Structure 1
């Protein structure tokens, strides 16, 4: 759907929704009947998608990414370590027979890092999932950090007496032993330390300015740029296997800082999370063969691991490896997996 909206924009068409009606504004000399026909064919899907994007101040947590003509069911995708869901685009293109919904993180609305909690996020996301699908069994999918949140959503759904069909993780990281050893070193986001980082990394920082909150520090920095000599050190603030999530960002722009802070927030959530209880639903874990990630926990549940050889944390979600993922995924969606 995002690709289609980009195509509409490229044709200088402005599209909005008013009282559940699609409103188009085109230039006087516009002459492309094919794109208009395509818009008509996808009218309801466009209305649903744009309405979701316009609600909640322009950012809705749960967004529809694909609506099937004859659906085999709903799939719920949880955001990655940046808080966004664009990483699923290639995968969702292959899942045309399913309604695909994605959950984005609220942290992406802000500039600075937050002390996020996976159980709290999972609780909020679960309520939004239930609103879309009150009953029937649920399939929850998550790449990277999203896989950990997907597990917790599944656990909370089962506690609410809901049936979870499967939890599917894509190269998610969780090393219980390492996190236990590191837990006492998990740093809080404090005003003084965030000011020190901003001063270190950004040009033209006002050293005389006072700040009372972490958000104030980073909101002030929106129009500043990263010092060229500090770019690699900015990247060092996040786990090595997540640095590729910064690809495509303008090299020294504030967008990199915002994304890094989103990752820091979600990394904090993983560092302070502990698996509790058990889950009855089977867990399918797609492991990238060349990835630096680990998934180790002593919790009492079964994980069916599928290794995608030669892929890494990023490439597992793109061609050519995504085709192997899809082949295996259809096997798990179309038939039960032993728990």
Structure 2
């Protein structure tokens, strides 16, 4: 490979040809990393990552853990571009210390995750899983579900994805409650939403949908106490981050019928491997619809996030500011 081109190493799977062409047209060489045993980058060891990234100028990353020791072993690396919007697996302080730029793919996956959120609401309320099982097992009684239409939906958080959810919910003539640390009156009036505190939201909502980032302050935001505040006819939807919910408490609530069901795309066991048994039990419950953190994984969503990440790489390697909303860490730019 000619070193007059910048080397971009891509470790997540499903990277499309159009985005590769975009990078090549902007003076980059692209390598789609092949990790041992077909691993996803989240499962790669630091040694394996160093091996594939040793000559990289830029790294487009999926869910790998980005640590200080890893970054120190990659002096050539200039930019870590997350294909996604969460960056809790990236040591931002380490990136600052080692002079790296960290970006996210803001604006790439909101539509896909918003679709998944509504899909989980409908699937849990209409009891899709249980109804299909009735057909598999043989003739049985028709199961009676619930409408989303006309219900009260509580959104915890009001970021980009939640705002797309709000627009979709308006078609169902729902009452929308929002709990957020930064309510915006103008947006609230325009979208006909009501800002309330979390306790009120849990008590009033027929559907509770989580859209908050995972931080020390939001870990177990929904715990046994919060679940006890929900209606026993309510559904919990989580397409954000697993740690927002105490999954052990959720399992107990579902088993004991204290809430009606859950639609889950994320689980605590993604970061706490010792809780895999909880996930295994949750996904086997008849009133749970579960998907494997794949809400953003549509053909269209991945193409969008690939291209946003690529735009971040091209901008940083060219000495320019990354696209709006994408910059997470840098000593060279101001982070908004």
Structure-2-length-normalised TM-score: 0.33
TM-score (norm 1): 0.33
| Larger helix proportion of the pair | 1
> Relative contact order: is structure 1 or structure 2 higher (C-alpha 8 Å, sep ≥ 6)?
2
